[in-house]
Amino acid sequence: MKSLKFFMVILCACLMAASTATSAELKFTTQDLVPFNYEADGKVAGPFADIIRVVCADMNVKCTFRLLSWGRAQALVKNGEADGMFVCGKNKARESWVTFSPPILNTEYGFFVQTESKLAYKQPSDIIGLKIAAYGPSNVSTSLEKLLSKDVKFTIDMRPDDTAGFKKLAIGRVDAVYSNRDVGLLMAKNLKITNIRYAGAQKSLNYYVGFSKLHTDKKLIDAFAASYKKLLKKGMVTEILKGYSMVPVALD
């Protein structure tokens, strides 16, 4: 449960935003990715949305949010209909058109299997011959594809959402699911799937807010980064994430 102090942080930020008119605006897109982003009471909610609202208030900039499919969310940023997207991991293709915020959260990708499976993932050779579900096209599926090689062969069962893969794993139609750890653990709980377990991490990564290099004003991107770092140093970001049992990435 979020602390009273956490709610006061958000309330103060909203009052700051309301107190001064501004013409600047940042439009953000995201996807339904519990526990990081989701819709609650008709609004985009979650730790990233809370942090972005506080940062925008500190910048004296209006911010708006749209919850879409991840493909659509990225497309709007890429073509300039939106300024930024979250949560966003880095990959080579994305780095060509995205400017990233400071790292905000650290998480990991790994494998989920049925409880009776003997898999304890340590290295790519552990998954040879398996049929593995993954949400994609996405950063998750791209990371899984990188494990394929002439010596490490397995089958990727690409799913349009995380739910489908976990349901297939529960009934034994795939051997494993490759997913974000936090997303997978909460999804299994929400779906009331009791016969799967986390078999080990494959990759640690940071999550960012991603801005369009081509269409978003660099001054706004730089101001966003500066405000975020200031609020992190003051402890406001930590207090927000504490309400979600998460911690921020420490910056040098």
pLDDT at 23: 56
pLDDT at 22: 46
Supply φ then ψ for residue 206, to 5 degrees: -105, 155
Give the closest residue to 27 by CA, choosing from 99, 83, 79, 69: 83
Instruction: List the chain pLDDT tens, one digit each, 252 residues.
Output: 445 455 455 545 554 444 333 458 999 999 999 999 999 999 999 999 999 999 999 999 999 999 999 999 999 999 999 999 999 999 888 999 999 999 999 999 999 999 999 999 999 999 999 999 999 988 899 999 999 999 999 999 998 888 999 999 999 999 999 999 999 999 999 999 999 999 999 999 999 999 999 999 999 999 999 999 999 999 999 999 999 989 999 987
Domains of the chain (ranges plus CATH)?
4-105+206-242 (3.40.190.10), 107-204 (3.40.190.10)
User: Which regions of the chain does DSSP assign to beta strands (E)?
Assistant: 25-30, 38-40, 43-45, 62-67, 84-88, 98-100, 105-114, 131-135, 155-159, 176-180, 196-212
Report helix, strand or coil for 54: helix
What is the separation of C-alpha 237 from the centre of its chain, rounded to a whole number of angstroms? Answer: 16
35: preceding bond cis by omega (within 30 degrees): yes
